[in-house]
Structure 1
Amino acid sequence: MKNLFISFKIVVVVSLLLVPYLQAQEKSDENKLSKPAFSFFLNRTGIHTGNLVRTAYSNYGNLGSRTLQEARMEWPVGSGVTYGFEFIFFVASEVITDNGDTIHIISERYSGSARDVPSPEDHNWGWEPLAGYFNDGEIIRGVDEDLNNNGILDPGEDLNNNGVLDHELINVVEFPAMSHLPETWPYDWPEGSFPGDPGTRRNKWNGLFGAFVRADQESYYLMDDRANDEFPYFPFPENPEPFLEGGRRGVGLEVEVRNFQWSNPLAEDILISIYQIKNVSDIPLNKNIVGMYVDADIGQGDSDDDASSFDIVDDITFQWDLDGLDLQGRQTGYFGFAFLQSPGLIDGIDNDGDGLIDESQEDGIDNDNDWRTFSDDNGNGIWDPEERLNDDTGSDGLVPFDPNYIGPDPDGTQGNGMHDLGEPNFEFTDNDEIDQIGLTSFFGGGTGGTFVPKDDEDYWQTKIQPGSFTTATSGFDIAFSYGSGFFGIPPGSSESFAIASLFGNDFDDILRNKRTMQRIYDADFNFVKPPLTPALTAIAGDHRIYLLWDDASENSRDPIYGNDFEMYKIYRSTDPFFNSIKTITDAFGNPILWEPIAQFDLENGLYGPHPIPLEGLGVSYDMGTDSGLRHSYIDTLLDNGRTYYYAVVGVDQGYDTDFFARGISAIDNLEPISPSETSKRIEVDILGNVLSLDINVAAIVPREPAAGNQPPVIESGIIHITGNATGSFLAEIADPEGVIDRTYKVFFVDDSTLEHLTTEFTIIDQATGEILLAGSSDLFGSSELEKQVVDGLKFSFDNDEVPEIKSVEWTGRSNLNVDINDSPQLNVPIDFEIRFFDEIADTSYAQFANFRIPVNFQVWDITENVKMEFQFTESDTSYENMISPGDVLTLIAKRQGFNVSTTWRLEFSITTGLELILPEGGDILLVTTYKPFSSEDVYEFSTVGWIAAKEQNESLLDNVFVVPDPYVGVNSLERKQSSALSGRGERRVDFVNLPMQCTIRIYTVSGKFVEVIDHNASQDNGREPWDLTSTDGLEVAYGVYFFHIDAPGIGQKVGRFAIIK
């Protein structure tokens, strides 16, 4: 009977937790509950990595973690310096019991030994997450990418970017819902959790601003206080039983929690948490306080010399380490919490001094009149697709060109000229439309775990009373509590609080961060939208890495600034968080921007330092050199065996007042703003193994090819078979995996005029005649051509488009100056010589014979090796029949009867003061020109793909060796040790120049077997690591070791190496 009763209680508890979800979605048989409720299987912990703050968070209101040491508010990410142990969000409420007693109930989820739980501990007196808001793998299944049920992976459906149509994404990491992890999303979001019709948010993010992901990384969950049945208070009279018997207790609070991170330099040190607190009972909650219990240990394990304080002007609490160093000697900074939004009581007072009294996010009014309808440029009274929507986005928050935008909202709210729920700057998306009271209490009088919110009444009376501020404290393992109150919540109403977790190098730094973030928050997170994220492909080579990326960023459209893409920056680092290259500092000496290894920008006149610096920081983006865009890069001179991390980010143009006049922007009269760039996210575990990467990030190791294998090459270079073009054609290997054995020919078409201007090009397979790439000469130098990859090759044409004079050179002693001007007719692409004689050698051409002049020179087209006709005008009869100062010589490109087409015109002069030296017999004036690709130009080249080892014998093993040898305590190729781990960290040597398949056996000098390693690799990989552990998993001792290589079909080799302490 007892077991039966427990089972009944389990079902009741689970049913209550699922109510908000089950009302919106039916369970399928495969999604039935399989875990007992007492394990609280809906509790999940995720990790935010969207900027420089890496922190764990739990879907029951906590930040930080007792167990995930590397995610205890680490800042900057990858530094190993942590600031948080556990931060507990609470709501304290004053209520009246049925007996008329006034009591105070605090809902929270402190998890330490002093936690507030019943005895026996069969549930929590605090927050519990609600079902339906993430893919829990039990009750709620994951997203089905086949949104239209046609069985085809259509554009926009591949949410996890794996190229496969997945009918159920699996939440492998078991995180709560996060914007960048579609596998954490539920199949459908609960009805009522978003404006608009049911089902319209499926396969989209359910964000504060609709389906639009406003931040670089967001998380979302709901929790309530139904399990808090410690006191005889019954907010739901119809369910008065204890929680485990199916009752719903607490005070009737439901909290929607959203965390936000931006990688923008203005917000990169901040995590914002928004708590929308709703009274779902029928009883008014007139007196409430929101706050946090903060147990912040500054520096990993260094909690004995911290100090804390507060500033009521900026509504901020903060903590720091007194000596500024953690136990490992690393520099520590300041950490704090600040209220960005904190509503108070409806009291008829303008508490925040903004000129508005008791403004509200729930009154259906745009109190501050900052909502903007669409731009009706043509004055027809309706929104047209070419017009800006501004805030009139519709209830889903998406506008054309946003990812996942599929058309206007089905409910007709897009572009309807009226403010609707879900649109920016209205109601719950208008952050400053609320009267703020800020920080009202601070208590710092104890160590961590000694004054947690366990005794609710004492905590209310002595720790969080508005107006109560204790003296700043310092000492061992200090903790503090802060609050904001009082505020009221009528039945069915909500109040939103926004709290920023702030980090900085010193107090001034976190204060700047808070004030900057306050302005951004009040403007509804009005960052310029960075470009879309480019997709990066990285390919390992020998001492090099090949990078290729797509043009997604160039297709971006900012809702305000339009098509504002400007450039790509390429970052390379040897640490996964790119901290080692964050070397560009602001005016205060704080690192703020990353140093790229390369950047490629539009040729539009925007280059050098951007005219608008980052707000308040005194540093500007480098906007490049007008280099032109590229979509590939080869990074060379790298260390084989070392892990490199690459990111390609898109950067927008920002805006300045003259950008429209300069043709940089197509939109006039916008607010000046500094550029923004796409984020670069990488997540690694405590051992340094990569867990996930953004599509624009790669972790890769350059390496030697397998023994005897030769990588692809362009064989013998590019041969200019025929033609006289002075430009160049280049082919380079961009993707070695795509290169095949093939011979290519390149042809051109010109305009058939005497100038031979290029019009088209064609690249073919010489053997088959197959056209591999063709197009107009307009593509030369364009990003469209640069993006093309054929057989792993990229092609570029440096065409001398218009014939121009290249050089003028005398042979002999003459000191005549020569000025060559374009004729009114043609610039003919020829090289020519004027050859001088001691007697009359030719006669100039004129229409009438008496104007024809015998001369002592001839003009030769040496490109075609033919003598040319010319016109000649003598200015000084004292030097008849020869060239002298003042004479003019005009070459004739073509003559038919009296119809003459002229080309280059040469004028001769002498520098004043020089004694004239005229040309003599045997002298030559050589003139060369730049020549476009013409129909006569043909290029040829051949490629050879991977070549397998020709000799399958033991000689292939001659170059196998171990690096480093000896191993002296450390290997520079080893990954950085996580601060959360104790001990030595990674130890490693590499066997290099291995064949594709072989077995490596390692022995001591006494012949004792140590380890066996099977190397099975592709032709491009001749390297295999060993972690210096034995087959039993134990670290090996220092000494000399022998290795035996056994390569089937090739042979064997024995070598040795040393490990030195």
Structure 2
Amino acid sequence: MNRKFLLILLTFVAGSALLAQSSEQTAKYRTDPVGDKTYRKKGIMNGNQIRTIFRNDGQIGYWPDRPSGEWPVYSDHHYLDGCTPIVTSQITAPGNGQIVHPAQTSYREEVDMDPVSGTLWVMEPVPGYAKKDAEEPAVSTKKTTWPDLWPKVLPNIDAAWDGYWYGYFGRGVLNADFEAFYVMDDSQDREYNRQPYNYVPVASNPNRNGLGLRVEVRGFQWSHVLAEDIIFWHFDIINLSDFDYDTTYFGFYCDTGVGGVDDNGDDNASYDTFLDIAYAFDKDGKGTPGNWKTGYVGYAFLESPGNGFNGRDDDEDGMLDEKRDDGIDNDGDWVGYVDANGNGYWDDYEPLNNDLGKDGVGPLDYQYNGPDEGEGDGIPTPGEPNFDATDKDESDQIGLTSLAIERLSNKGPNAIWPKNDDVIWRKMNYNVFDTAIQNANIQILFGSGPFPLKLNRRERFSVALVFGSDYEDMVFNKETVQEIYNANYNFAKPPNKATLTAIAGDKKVFLYWDDFAEKSVDPFLGYKHDFEGYLIYRSQEPAFNDIKLITDSKGEPKYWKPIAQFDLKDGLKGPDPIGVNGAHFWRGNETGLQHSYIDTTVVNGVKYFYALVAYDMGDPTFGTKGLTPSETTKIINEDLVGNVTFIDQNCAVVVPNAPVAGYIPPEIVGDVDKAEGLGTGSLNVAVLDPSKIKEGASYTIEFTSSGTAQKYITTSYSIVRTFEGAAETIQASIDSSNFGGKLSPPFDGIAVGVTNDTVAVDKKETGWLQGSSNYEINAIADASAPSRNIKWPSNYEVEWLPRGTTKQTPFSKIDLPFKVRNATRGEEVDAELIDPNGNKTLDAGDDIIIIEYTGTPSFANAKYTWRIQYRSPSGSFWFPPEPGDIYKVAISKPFQTGDKFTFSTKSAKIDGQTAVGEMKNIGVVPNPYISTAAWEKRNFGQTGRGERRLDFIHLPAQCTIRIYTITGALVKTLEKNSNVSDGSLSWNLVSEDGMDIAYGLYIYHVDAPGIGEHIGKFAIIK
């Protein structure tokens, strides 16, 4: 009887773990395909000043590939050879009873493998979490990397999540400016699943090997100036096995590489117990190639797994054994909706706070599509902020418990390489801190444990890679790391990105964008509408490093210098009061917003990188130190040979050039200098995209005003297009904040700018229409009686009458030798005389006041409008006005309802006959080519030749170019088939055989069918 009982018991025991029932969520996870190397993808994190390769098998950096921990971005300064997470646990192998310690990880070298097949026993990516045909894992900034459908095994999601980013805090929620997400598991690690160990983690699926672990990985980057030198890595480890793992460690392995690929033999490392950061630096402070000054890289261990079963307060936060999956708001920081009207339920105008429902999205989020489960119910729901899985504090974290620094060159059985399971286990054991090795090629291993990883449970750890120009700078950046972590992986969120369109022109670039950024709210600041303005950056490098010119008090570059800035007229201007080490963000000059810009300071043939960056107000009152303004990211990716591989929606890459031969530019037809109606302002029509201008379209700019005929304001204008017989309002009610010449939102390749006048004397147009009097006459607004004064919006003419004829003033009854006519209305009006000497006669020193009436002509209704000062000339010869002389008082006037401008457009064309005559303009630049050209891409690698390029210019749209040696040997054939605005073609000086051409003289022949031929020559000089 006792033997039978023992046998039954043994069937339920595997090592120290009890076979148990899987949860519903674990069962869903188990339906996912197992990880496999065929799903490996490689991406690049470059959402701030750090750029690094990452792979969806856990690896960060990958020696010797570039970029590996590159900082600053595109500098070719590398600090990292590779990092990867490690999970190890103690089990008893059922096959032979041996206690073993499988170390689950993935790395480029020194890992376990099948001795027969050579299959690597490592973590491998699980399919379905990135676009199938994408080359990289899913990243938030590239929708083309997202899967069409997010796997529904993920917690708390449904079909509504498809098409949105799988955010850490909810559907489409982007807390960071750049995020990566992937899933991996240890199913390919068969080391202890084979004979003689025979360990099977999931009895129902023999394809799940290793320890039966699943790892969900996220990378976070913020572009804010305080966080631009930091990457966060967040790992969720889920136990999908049939067993509890009572003694488990999580760790992070790092191979430092401060100084570049070929300079990693003199790294030093240390650990700061107060800051909880290990860090590495180069002994001689010089990196290769180029002897560049090295900085510091820190590895900050942030979030550790929790032990919610030992009856201790491991993290000393006053809570005992708190857990993320117990359905309890352990720390009480979840905030429900505000029942403002006290009716006992949520109304759609009441703040939800954290009560957003399981998708983590509320009415203030752009992706909100209605209430979901748990929204506004006053009860915490999984998926809502600050509850269970989304609250870092709801875990009894045990912290960092071990750290080892060792020499990388040691590849023996006692080295901390991933293949040495027992060594990893020993080094990660509790309270082991071994930091003796210095001045070598160094590897670092963090550890946190032991803790129980129970069946169905999810535990996590997170780390941050922190860069700094020196130790103090790294420590300063570590403070921001802690702030972001303490805020539950939240930080100031910049506005949404606008979509930028850039069009190359001849020595100019046309830029225009939408207003999506202006609708932004910042959840970090309580859903505050904090958009403030736009910055336009232009660089000749994809990372914009050449314009990061605004430095702090230590001389460290902090901000980029824009070529243009447009900000709200809201009283917020000048330097931000907070600053970063003495560098202050410039908030603008109250220019008002604009949605287009023409850059006329470019050089043809040069590649320019543009970024339209939206920024917010910041918050000087936030926390204890305030918060500086945040800018959107600007991401343009190039490969190692200079090919652009990605351009974010708010960026553009443009090469301005002369148009093709025979190009006839688009034309604006009509008088845009004078409106039909009362207003005297002007209209500017700017061509932004010549290719979109319609042939034969006509446009009417119609104004609207409010107020009385005497005192009115222009409120808005609309744009009506008539094309192919159909009229359509394409821009309605563009308000007065867009006056002042600011361009309208673009339409049909153009934009208009309205300059609206005020009611004032137009000095330029005021003066004698007829006559030769030299009396000094000046018109001003009358200010003698404020209750009666009105700047009347009309033009006037003062005409001297025939001798013996007078016109009497209405109130003082003085006879005047002139009459006054309202030229705008075409009728005579009254005038009064200011007669200082009282002689009741017009003479020098008197003033004439033009009278208008707001009702029936009477003294009560009289309004004093414009004053004409009548003065004698300064010389000895006086020529007073003669009968028939006319003096005009011209008044500028705002646009009023009914005023309009009308113009039409003609599209761009190519004229064949003109092209024939312009073939003679075809040329090569630079010519001669001497070693390099000014517009060539900078060689970031600092070794090798780098890019070589010359341009053929003023070419027809379609042509063939053949390049010959002076002896007639064909070197290269180039084909051109481009749009009408680009008359150039670049050549990289590589022959048809793929060889760099030699120095010397070359002949080229241009053949343009239907137009003609051209022969020229150029020289390549060493």
- TM-score after normalising by structure 1: 0.83
SS in 2 for 1:518: helix
- State the shift of 1:91 in Å: 1.4
Alignment of 1:917-956 (within 5 A): 921-922=880-881, 927-933=889-895, 939=901, 941=903, 943-951=905-913, 954-956=916-918
2:1004 equivalent to 1:1039: no
Select 1:334's aligned residue among 290, 296, 302.
296
SS in 2 for 1:85: strand
Alignment of 1:445-484 (within 5 A): 445-448=406-409, 450=411, 451=415, 452-461=417-426, 463-484=427-448
**Which amino acid in the other structure matches residue 122 of structure 2?**
G
What do residues 219-248 of structure 1 show as CA deviations (whole Å, max 9, x unaligned)?
A: 2222233333334656647749xx9xx364
What is the match of residue 570 of structure 1?
Answer: 536
- State the shift of 1:946 in Å: 1.4
What is the match of residue 992 of structure 1?
Answer: 953
**C-alpha separation between the residues in 2 aligned to 1:549 and 1:308?**
47
SS in 1 for 2:485: helix
Identify if the C-alpha distance between structure 1 residues 44 and 772 changes in structure 2 by more than 3 Å, giving closer, same or farther: closer
Contact 1:757–1:802 (CA under 8 A) maintained in structure 2? no
- State the shift of 1:1058 in Å: 0.7
Moved more, 253-262 or 224-233: 224-233
**Which amino acid in the other structure matches residue 751 of structure 2?**
K
Identify if the C-alpha distance between structure 1 residues 374 and 809 changes in structure 2 by more than 3 Å, giving closer, same or farther: farther
Select 1:868's aligned residue among 816, 826, 829.
829
- State the shift of 1:767 in Å: 10
Contact 2:35–2:186 (CA under 8 A) maintained in structure 1? no
SS in 1 for 2:293: coil
- State the shift of 1:997 in Å: 1.6
What is the match of residue 755 of structure 2?
Answer: 798
SS in 2 for 1:339: strand
**Which amino acid in the other structure matches residue 488 of structure 1?**
P
Alignment of 1:75-90 (within 5 A): 75-90=71-86
Identify if the C-alpha distance between structure 1 residues 24 and 228 changes in structure 2 by more than 3 Å, giving closer, same or farther: closer
2:161 equivalent to 1:201: yes
What is the match of residue 62 of structure 1?
Answer: 59
- State the shift of 1:867 in Å: 4.8
**Which amino acid in the other structure matches residue 974 of structure 1?**
E
Alignment of 1:610-1009 (within 5 A): 610-613=576-579, 617-655=581-619, 673-714=627-668, 718-720=672-674, 725-742=679-696, 753=709, 771=727, 773=729, 779-782=735-738, 786-800=743-757, 802=759, 820-821=782-783, 824=788, 826-832=790-796, 842-846=806-810, 852-855=813-816, 858-861=819-822, 867-872=828-833, 877=838, 879-882=839-842, 889=849, 891-893=851-853, 898=858, 901-905=861-865, 921-922=880-881, 927-933=889-895, 939=901, 941=903, 943-951=905-913, 954-977=916-939, 979=941, 983-1009=944-970
Root mean square deviation, CA, Å: 4.0
**C-alpha separation between the residues in 2 aligned to 1:350 and 1:840?**
110
What is the match of residue 3 of structure 1?
Answer: none
- State the shift of 1:1000 in Å: 0.9
What is the match of residue 315 of structure 1?
Answer: 276
- State the shift of 1:22 in Å: 10
Contact 2:140–2:165 (CA under 8 A) maintained in structure 1? yes
Q: Which runs of 5+ in 2 are unaligned?
A: 1-23
Contact 2:184–2:214 (CA under 8 A) maintained in structure 1? yes
Select 2:101's aligned residue among 99, 104, 115.
104
**C-alpha separation between the residues in 2 aligned to 1:59 and 1:767?**
53
What is the match of residue 156 of structure 1?
Answer: none
- State the shift of 1:806 in Å: 6.4
**Which amino acid in the other structure matches residue 732 of structure 1?**
A
**Which amino acid in the other structure matches residue 37 of structure 2?**
F
**Which amino acid in the other structure matches residue 84 of structure 1?**
L
What is the match of residue 476 of structure 2?
Answer: 512
- State the shift of 1:675 in Å: 2.6
Select 2:517's aligned residue among 547, 553, 568.
553
Contact 1:826–1:902 (CA under 8 A) maintained in structure 2? no
- TM-score after normalising by structure 2: 0.86
What do residues 346-378 of structure 1 show as CA deviations (whole Å, max 9, x unaligned)?
A: 555545444444433233222222211123333
**C-alpha separation between the residues in 1 aligned to 2:777 and 2:164?**
78
**C-alpha separation between the residues in 1 aligned to 2:639 and 2:283?**
30
What is the match of residue 582 of structure 1?
Answer: 548
What is the match of residue 116 of structure 2?
Answer: 120
Moved more, 691-700 or 953-962: 953-962
**C-alpha separation between the residues in 1 aligned to 2:117 and 2:943?**
33
- State the shift of 1:841 in Å: 6.1
Identify if the C-alpha distance between structure 1 residues 909 and 264 changes in structure 2 by more than 3 Å, giving closer, same or farther: same
SS in 1 for 2:921: coil
- State the shift of 1:544 in Å: 1.1
What is the match of residue 14 of structure 2?
Answer: none
What is the match of residue 279 of structure 1?
Answer: 239
Identify if the C-alpha distance between structure 1 residues 789 and 60 changes in structure 2 by more than 3 Å, giving closer, same or farther: closer
What do residues 137-168 of structure 1 show as CA deviations (whole Å, max 9, x unaligned)?
A: 4xxxxxxxxxxxxxxxxxxxxxxxxxxxxxxx
Moved more, 343-352 or 412-421: 343-352
Contact 2:270–2:279 (CA under 8 A) maintained in structure 1? yes
2:44 equivalent to 1:47: yes
**C-alpha separation between the residues in 1 aligned to 2:351 and 2:710?**
50
Alignment of 1:130-169 (within 5 A): 130-135=126-131, 137=132
**C-alpha separation between the residues in 2 aligned to 1:910 and 1:355?**
88
**C-alpha separation between the residues in 1 aligned to 2:459 and 2:26?**
22
Identify if the C-alpha distance between structure 1 residues 985 and 1017 changes in structure 2 by more than 3 Å, giving closer, same or farther: same
**C-alpha separation between the residues in 1 aligned to 2:207 and 2:590?**
68
Identify if the C-alpha distance between structure 1 residues 900 and 187 changes in structure 2 by more than 3 Å, giving closer, same or farther: same
- State the shift of 1:893 in Å: 5.0
**C-alpha separation between the residues in 1 aligned to 2:293 and 2:820?**
78
Identify if the C-alpha distance between structure 1 residues 116 and 712 changes in structure 2 by more than 3 Å, giving closer, same or farther: same
Identify if the C-alpha distance between structure 1 residues 744 and 427 changes in structure 2 by more than 3 Å, giving closer, same or farther: closer
- State the shift of 1:780 in Å: 4.1
Alignment of 1:1021-1040 (within 5 A): 1021-1040=982-1001
Select 1:534's aligned residue among 469, 489, 498.
498
**Which amino acid in the other structure matches residue 575 of structure 1?**
E
**C-alpha separation between the residues in 2 aligned to 1:909 and 1:1019?**
59
Identify if the C-alpha distance between structure 1 residues 207 and 889 changes in structure 2 by more than 3 Å, giving closer, same or farther: closer
**Which amino acid in the other structure matches residue 123 of structure 2?**
W
- State the shift of 1:26 in Å: 9.6
Aligned residues between the structures: 971
Contact 1:391–1:423 (CA under 8 A) maintained in structure 2? yes
Contact 1:871–1:892 (CA under 8 A) maintained in structure 2? no
Moved more, 595-604 or 478-487: 478-487
**C-alpha separation between the residues in 2 aligned to 1:698 and 1:763?**
28
**Which amino acid in the other structure matches residue 427 of structure 1?**
D
**C-alpha separation between the residues in 1 aligned to 2:304 and 2:705?**
71
Q: Which runs of 5+ in 1 are unaligned?
A: 1-18, 28-32, 138-170, 659-668
**Which amino acid in the other structure matches residue 553 of structure 1?**
A
Identify if the C-alpha distance between structure 1 residues 919 and 387 changes in structure 2 by more than 3 Å, giving closer, same or farther: farther
Identify if the C-alpha distance between structure 1 residues 401 and 449 changes in structure 2 by more than 3 Å, giving closer, same or farther: farther
**C-alpha separation between the residues in 1 aligned to 2:755 and 2:550?**
35
**C-alpha separation between the residues in 2 aligned to 1:351 and 1:177?**
35
- State the shift of 1:839 in Å: 8.4
**Which amino acid in the other structure matches residue 551 of structure 2?**
T
What is the match of residue 399 of structure 1?
Answer: 362
- State the shift of 1:1033 in Å: 0.9
**Which amino acid in the other structure matches residue 1021 of structure 1?**
D
What is the match of residue 161 of structure 1?
Answer: none
**C-alpha separation between the residues in 2 aligned to 1:513 and 1:749?**
53
Contact 1:960–1:994 (CA under 8 A) maintained in structure 2? yes
